[in-house]
Amino acid sequence: MAAELSLREIGQIALPVKNLERAVEFYRDKLGLKFLFQAPPGLAFFECGATRLMLSIPEKGFEKHASTLYFRVPNIDRAFTILKERGVPFDDAPHVIHKQEGYELKMAFFRDPDSNIHAIMSETGHL
C-alpha cells in the first residue's frame, strides 16, 4: 500500500536571472528582501518568510523557465508607493482582481531587471 502524501508548503522558489549581481541588487535594495548568501556557480538566496527565493544563472536547457512571485503586503497602496519611489517598474496600479461578499483581492504587477513579472497582493476578509 502506498503511503499518502500531501504537499502543502513551498520551501524554495527558483527564479532564473541573466545578471546575478544586478538581480541581487534589485531584490535586496529595491524590494527589501533579506539577503541570505551567494553560492557558486551563480546562485543567490533570499528569505521570504517561510519560503526561500533562489536566484540563479540558468543551466543549459532551463533558459526559458521563469516563476511569478506574489508578495503579500498589508497595505497595497502604501507598498506600491514605496516600491515606485525605489524605482520598481510597475505594469499597473493596484486593482481588484476578485471580489465577493466578505473578501477582496487586489494586485499590482511589476518587473525585475530580467523582465520576470511579479506582483504585490493584498487580501481583505475571508474566502
- Domain boundary assignment for the chain: 10-67, 68-127
Within this chain, domains 10-67 and 68-127 share the same CATH topology: yes
Degrees to nearest 5, angle at CA 120 with 119 and 123: 125
Residue 120's pLDDT is: 94
Q: What gap in Å lies between CA 113 and CA 10, rounded to an integer?
A: 24
CATH topology of domain 10-67: 2,3-Dihydroxybiphenyl 1,2-Dioxygenase; domain 1 (3.10.180)
Between 86 and 4, the more confident residue is 86
- Which residues does residue 71 pair with via DSSP β-bridges, in sequence order? 120
What is the CATH number that goes with domain 68-127? 3.10.180.10
The pTM of the full predicted model, rounded to 2 decimals, is: 0.79
pLDDT digits (tens, 9 = 90+) for 22-72: 999 999 999 999 999 999 889 999 999 999 999 999 776 555 667 889 999
Q: Output the average pLDDT for the chain.
A: 89
Reported as a pLDDT band with limits 50, 70 and 90, residue 126 is: confident
Q: What is the secondary structure of 10-24 as a DSSP string?
A: --EEEEE-S-HHHHH
